[in-house]
Structure 1
């Protein structure tokens, strides 16, 4: 059995929604067991060398307050980078890309970051790139928070594109990092999109890849 851990949920992203999505994906992955943890447990869990970590959680703990606090210190970011560099897998999923310092070692490891999303949700069409079907050949459309991201395309492999009335962006990218693997996935925000059948298949495939299954 492969062993993975997941950090899920934040102020804008109900934990129950992402957990339901993850559980659906795990039903397609019988050789993977997952433990959902809190941020104060991550250093201990990294020391146990799980096969992969899933992050669906932004850095801000209290985004609506005047004095915003964050949870990922540079020490923790360095520990994450070391874990992946030594063979771990990392899936930065939706809010796992959001509000982290652009200059942090964590964001540099991802080779991409969230920039903004339009205020209004829109029908977003996600399409896999031809010849990049490692995570499945898919085309699906969901009502979503359309993430616009900046990605170092020369040093990663873009496998999913996104399109809405607001424009075009990148929906997913992946690359090796040292001895480990990194995958970034921008969908989905809404409860319905998170459990969409086609998205669940993509999520399962990315988990399978980062965990080395």
Structure 2
């Protein structure tokens, strides 16, 4: 049995939506009862990392109160270093949508990801997600959803880009993965809206990335 820990939801991303998507993805993988998932709070992350789960899924931005004048964040450099060390020693990490957002570019965490969120247009658009030809690590992908189109900056030379995104606002990278020390890191930019999160084709790639980072 593989053990997964998940941190889900923030001010702009209802926890219920990502929980529903995660449960759908896990149901695809759990036909042989091979995964168990524990949803935790940020205050529990270092304790849970010390228990060496097979993978951690992060769908939560760093800002706790993004609309306030004095914005607080949860990921200290101590936490970021603990995450990087956990992965380096063999853990798996999936940075999913807001798990890429508002974290310090100079932190151990962002350096481990080899990429970060830069911006998204104010208006949501129809975004087409397509796998790169010849890159079938997570299977062929082609689907279109109304989404918050994430534009990201990625160190393409030192990671494996497997998913691209396209909308009226332009093109970007939507998924990349690499080994980090003894561990595995995967970054996935979709999806923001409830309908996109439970889209059948998105659930398939979410399940595939969870399977990869957890070594299932």
Instruction: Pick the TM interval, shorter chain.
Output: over 0.9
Q: Which residue of 2 aligns with 1:208?
A: 211
Compare 172-181 and 25-34 and name the one that shifted more. Answer: 25-34
Find the aligned partners of 2:108 and 2:3 in 1 and give their Cα distance. Answer: 25
Shift of 1:96: 0.1
RMSD across aligned C-alpha pairs, in angstroms? Answer: 0.3
Find the aligned partners of 2:99 and 2:141 in 1 and give their Cα distance. Answer: 22
Q: Which residue of 2 aligns with 1:95?
A: 98
* Counterpart secondary structure, 1:54: strand
**5+ residue gaps in structure 2?**
none
Shift of 1:136: 1.3
CA-to-partner distance for each residue in 1:56-114, whole Å, 9 max, x for gaps? Answer: 00000000000000000000000000000000000000000000000001000000000
Counterpart check, 1:128 vs 2:131: yes
Q: Which residue of 1 aligns with 2:167?
A: 164
Q: Which residue of 1 aligns with 2:149?
A: 146
Q: Which residue of 2 aligns with 1:34?
A: 37
| TM superposition outliers: structure 1 runs of 4+ over 3 Å | none
**5+ residue gaps in structure 1?**
none
Q: Which residue of 2 aligns with 1:2?
A: 2
Aligned pairs, number: 213
CA-to-partner distance for each residue in 1:108-156, whole Å, 9 max, x for gaps? Answer: 0000000000000000000000111111101000000000000000000
* Counterpart secondary structure, 1:28: helix
Counterpart check, 1:173 vs 2:176: yes
TM-score of the pair, normalised by structure 2: 0.98
Find the aligned partners of 1:136 and 1:41 in 2 and give their Cα distance. Answer: 34
Q: 2:81 aligns with which of 75, 78, 86?
A: 78
CA-to-partner distance for each residue in 1:143-177, whole Å, 9 max, x for gaps? Answer: 00000000000000000000000000001000000
TM-score of the pair, normalised by structure 1: 1.00
